[in-house]
A and B are shown apart, each in its own frame.
Chain A
Amino acid sequence: MRVPSDPPAGSDLLALSQARPGDRGIIVSVGQGMAQPGSGVDPEELERRLLEFGFVEGAHIEVLHEGAIGHDPIVVRLDDMRVALRRADAAEVRFQRDAA
Chain B
Amino acid sequence: MKPALRIALVGNPNCGKTALFNALTGSRQKVANYAGVTVERKEGALVTPEGQALTILDLPGTYSLRARSPDEVVTRDAVLGRLAGEVPPDAIVCVADATNLRLVLRLILELKAVGRPLILALNMYDIAQRQGLRIDLEGLARDLDLPIITTVATRRRGIGELVAQMVETATSLHTDVRASLWREPDGTALRDLHKEAQRLMRTHVHPPERPDTLTGRIDHVLLHPVAGIAVLLGLLFVMFQAVFIGAVPIMDLIDQGFAGLSDVVGQVLPHGWGRDLMVDGVIAGVGSVLVFLPQILILFLFIILLEDSGYMARAAFLMDRIMGGAGLHGRAFIPLLSSFACAVPGIMSTRVIDNRRDRLTTILIAPLMTCSARIPVYTLVIGAVIPNRTVLGVLNLQGLVMFALYAAGIGSALGISFILRKVFWRGQSEPFMMELPTYKAPNPANVLRTLMQKASMFLTRAGRIIMPLMVLVWFVSVFPGPPAGATGPAINYSLAGTLGQFLKPVFAPIGFNWQMTVALVPGMAAREVAVAALGTVYAVGGGGLSLAETLSHQWSLASGLAFLAWYVFAPQCVATLGVVKRETNSWLWPAIMFAYMFALAYGAALIVYQTARALGFG
* Residue in contact with A89 in the complex, picked from B68, B100, B428, B433, CB distance below 8 Å: B433
B429 contacts A39, C-beta separation under 8 Å: yes
User: In the bound complex, how far is the Cα of B194 from the Cα of A60, in angstroms?
Assistant: 13
A51 contacts B100, C-beta separation under 8 Å: no
B465 CB–A CB distance under 8 Å = no
* Residue in contact with A84 in the complex, picked from B64, B68, B106, B432, CB distance below 8 Å: B432
A30 CB to closest chain B CB (Å) equals 8
Chain B residues whose CB sits within 8 angstroms of the CB of A72 once the complex forms: 320-321
B219 CB–A CB distance under 8 Å = yes
B541 CB to closest chain A CB (Å) equals 54
Chain A residues whose CB sits within 8 angstroms of the CB of B317 once the complex forms: 67, 73, 75, 84
Chain B residues whose CB sits within 8 angstroms of the CB of A9 once the complex forms: none
Please report which residues of chain B, range 308-349, place their CB below 8 angstroms from some CB of chain A when the two chains form the complex: 313, 316-318, 320-322, 324, 330
Q: How large is the interface on B (under 10, 10 to 19, 20 to 34, 35 or more residues)?
A: 35 or more
B197 CB to closest chain A CB (Å) equals 9
Q: How large is the interface on A (under 10, 10 to 19, 20 to 34, 35 or more residues)?
A: 35 or more
User: In the bound complex, how far is the Cα of B102 from the Cα of A80, in angstroms?
Assistant: 8
Chain B residues whose CB sits within 8 angstroms of the CB of A48 once the complex forms: 66, 185-187, 190
* Binary contact track B33-67/A, C-beta < 8 Å → 1, others 0: 00000000000000000000000000000011010
Chain B residues whose CB sits within 8 angstroms of the CB of A31 once the complex forms: 187
A81 contacts B100, C-beta separation under 8 Å: yes
B194 contacts A51, C-beta separation under 8 Å: yes
Please report which residues of chain A, range 11-51, place their CB below 8 angstroms from some CB of chain B when the two chains form the complex: 31, 37-41, 44, 46-51
Q: How many A-B residue pairs have CB under 8 A?
A: 119
Residue among A31, A68, A82 facing the most chain B CB atoms (10 A cut-off): A82
User: In the bound complex, how far is the Cα of B198 from the Cα of A81, in angstroms?
Assistant: 14
| A51-B194, A83-B434 as given contacts; A68 in contact with B219, CB under 8 Å | no
B436 CB–A CB distance under 8 Å = yes
B223 CB–A CB distance under 8 Å = yes
A67 contacts B103, C-beta separation under 8 Å: no
B226 contacts A89, C-beta separation under 8 Å: no
Q: Which residues of A line the B interface, CB within 8 A?
A: 31, 37-41, 44, 46-54, 56-58, 64-70, 72-73, 75, 79-86, 89
A66 contacts B63, C-beta separation under 8 Å: no
B431 CB–A CB distance under 8 Å = yes
Q: Which residues of B line the A interface, CB within 8 A?
A: 63-64, 66, 68, 99-103, 106, 185-187, 190-191, 194, 198, 215-216, 219, 223-226, 228-229, 313, 316-318, 320-322, 324, 330, 427-437
User: In the bound complex, how far is the Cα of B185 from the Cα of A48, in angstroms?
Assistant: 9
B324 CB to closest chain A CB (Å) equals 8
Given contacts A40-B429, A48-B66, A67-B225, 13 further A-B contacts (CB under 8 A): A46-B431, A48-B190, A49-B431, A54-B103, A65-B219, A68-B321, A73-B330, A75-B317, A82-B219, A82-B436, A83-B433, A83-B434, A83-B436
| A65-B223, A67-B318, A82-B436 as given contacts; A40 in contact with B191, CB under 8 Å | no
User: In the bound complex, how far is the Cα of B433 from the Cα of A79, in angstroms?
Assistant: 16
| A51-B190, A67-B317, A70-B321 as given contacts; A81 in contact with B219, CB under 8 Å | no
Chain A residues whose CB sits within 8 angstroms of the CB of B224 once the complex forms: 65
* Residue in contact with A47 in the complex, picked from B187, B226, B433, CB distance below 8 Å: B187
Chain A residues whose CB sits within 8 angstroms of the CB of B229 once the complex forms: 68
User: In the bound complex, how far is the Cα of B322 from the Cα of A67, in angstroms?
Assistant: 10
A96 CB to closest chain B CB (Å) equals 17
User: In the bound complex, how far is the Cα of B305 from the Cα of A12, in angstroms?
Assistant: 42
A69 contacts B432, C-beta separation under 8 Å: no
Chain B residues whose CB sits within 8 angstroms of the CB of A84 once the complex forms: 313, 316-317, 320, 432-436
B215 contacts A82, C-beta separation under 8 Å: yes
A26 CB to closest chain B CB (Å) equals 13
A53 contacts B428, C-beta separation under 8 Å: no
Chain B residues whose CB sits within 8 angstroms of the CB of A41 once the complex forms: 430-431
User: In the bound complex, how far is the Cα of B186 from the Cα of A31, in angstroms?
Assistant: 12
Chain B residues whose CB sits within 8 angstroms of the CB of A83 once the complex forms: 433-436
Closest residue of chain B to A79 (Cβ to Cβ) is B102
